[in-house]
Each structure stands twice: as structure tokens, then as C-alpha cells.
Amino acid sequence: MKVQYIGSSMLWVLAVCVLVAVPGLAQEPPAELPPRVVACNPEPFATNVDPGLQQISISFDHPMDTQSKSGFASLRWAGVFPGVRGAEPAWDEAGTTCTLPVQLEPDVTYAVVVNSSKQRSFTDEDGVAALGFAWVFATGERTAEDFPAYAVSADPPLGASDVEAGQREINVTFNRPVAPGDFSWVRMSGSGLYPGFRGGPPPSLSEDRLTATLAVRLSPATVYALSVNDVFYFGYKDTKGRPVLPFGWCFKTAE
């Protein structure tokens, strides 16, 4: 049984997660960084997307297990899921690009999440779960304020492979200020170890409320994976109370 803390700076909320063996999912921490989405169509935050578009796609950085069940899921608080009921995703010959049949309507905001904390279906050929990824797009005109706030940078950077094990905190910076109080740093089982630890200080916000920081304990030559917000945990919100788009994050420490 493993635990993770998700809550606010005023009150810790303990979420107990019983991790069971999932067929095809690696149960030990991976030796290398997990697969992650490197491109998608439509692009994140695209506007005026053609409502006649019949499929959307994601591309991973290395070949995936094309026989596993797809990990596309709804992100209802950010937009409408575009998938067609009963339609099956398809893979290209390289096993890196997955397409999902969709049915779009004019002037609608759509949102899709790949591999949430509780749905880890996209795996590579070694059973390592892909890092979570979320994106939104619209078939109408939208401004940046119409879309959820999102992460613009992270320290260590996403996909870094030479992080110093002595680093004592990690942080993510958003495109606009977030509200103080609530936070969500979420375990991504099957993709890497969670870098936070019980008994540490609660996550903090910078004075301008653009950068969130988590205290960590890291070991050498170890892959870490987490998500800031998720389908089920969305403590980080902008100043209007709207959840920040989930940000899947992984890195590896140096020898």
C-alpha cells in the first residue's frame, strides 16, 4: 500500500492508493524515462479547428504496445470529449502515432487526457506506462483566457536525464497566477517514482503565484514521474476558480 498527500496548505488530505498489479504494466520503476507524447493534432490550444475533422492523433517519442487498450479519456471540467462512442483507435506501422475517430460540432471546446493517474492503458513494449498528457482545442474562436491555465516551464525540465540527486525541491511555472491554498501533486504509477515524501513541508507558491514548489528527496540514477493536477485531483486553479490543465512531468537523476 502506498500513500500520497493531496490537499491544501491549510489542511493535509490523505489519499490512500492501493496499487494492484495491472497486466502489461511494469510494476518496478523503469530504468529509462517513460514514453511521452511529443506531438498531437490538433495542436494544444488550437482554435477554429474544422468541425469536419474526423480524427485526432497523438505521437509518442518511442514505439508503444499497439495491442493494449487505449488510454484516451475525458477531461470534463476543461471541455467535451470528442471521441465517437464505440470507435476504436488505430496505430501507424511504427507504433508511435495513435489516431482516435472523432465527431466534432461547431464552436465547442474539446479536451482530452492521455493516461490519467487511474487509467494507465498506454504502455510501451516493456510495459512502462506513458506519462500523462492533456490538451484542449476549440472549433470556434477563443482567447487565451477562455482556455485553462497551463504549465509553461518546469525545473527540472520535462524529460531531463541528468538531474542532481542532491536537489531538494522541484517547481513548475504557470502561464498566469493561480489561487493560493489548494494544490495537487499526483503519483503516476508505472511511469516512475514519486519524488515527494511524507512529513515534508507542504507545497508552496511564489509571491507572484506563478510558480509552485514541492520539496523532494531524490536518489541517484532514478526515474521520477508525477502530474501537477489530474482528471481526479485538480487543486491548482486560476484566480477565477478554474482548474489548471494537468501537466505530466518526468525526469531522471544522474549517476
Measured between alpha carbons, how far is 41 from 113 in angstroms, rounded to an integer?
Answer: 13
Beta strands 223-228 and 97-101, pairing class: unpaired
Give how many domains the chain has, as a whole number: 1
Q: Which domain holds residue 157?
A: 2-21+148-252
Cα dihedral 89→116→216→18 (10° resolution): -120
Integer Cα distance of 50 and 63 in angstroms: 29
CA distances from 20 to 2, 6, 15 (A): 11, 20, 16
Dump pLDDT digits (tens) for 195-236.
Answer: 999 998 999 999 999 999 999 999 999 999 999 999 999 999
Is residue 69 a part of any domain in this protein?
A: no
Bridge pairing between strands 90-91 and 97-101: antiparallel
Whether residue 60 lies inside any domain: the answer is no
Query: In the structure grid, which three cell numbers stand for residue 143, read together?
Result: 482567447
State the chain's mean pLDDT as an integer: 89
Does 28 fall in a domain?
no
> Residue 11 — pLDDT band, cuts 50, 70, 90?
very low
Confidence band for 21, pLDDT divided at 50, 70 and 90: very low
Answer whether residue 1 shows pLDDT above 90: no
CA distance 27 to 243: 30
Band of residue 25 on the pLDDT scale cut at 50, 70, 90: low
How many residues make up the chain in this entry?
A: 255
Distance CA(200)–CA(214), nearest Å, equals 9
Which band of pLDDT confidence, cut at 50, 70 and 90, is reported for residue 129? Answer: very high
127 falls within a domain:
no
What CATH number did the domain enclosing 207 receive?
A: 2.60.40.1220
Looking at residue 195, the DSSP 8-state letter turns out to be -
Domain contains 232: yes
Q: Is residue 100 part of a domain?
A: no
Do the domain assignments include residue 62?
Answer: no
For residue 42, whether the previous peptide bond is cis, meaning omega lies within 30 degrees of 0, is yes
Q: Are 218 and 253 in contact (CB under 8 A)?
A: yes
The answer to the question of residue 67 being in a domain is no
Report pLDDT digits (tens) over 59-98: 999 999 998 777 899 999 999 999 998 888 999 999 999 9
Using CA atoms, how far residue 66 sits from 46, 83, 97, in Å, is 27, 19, 10
Checking if the pLDDT of 4 tops 50, the result is no
- Other CB atoms within 10 Å distance of the CB of residue 202: 14
d(CA 173, CA 114): 21
For residue 151, give the nearest of 185, 118, 120 by alpha carbon.
185
- SS3 at position 207: coil
Q: How far apart are CA 124 and CA 205, in angstroms?
A: 35
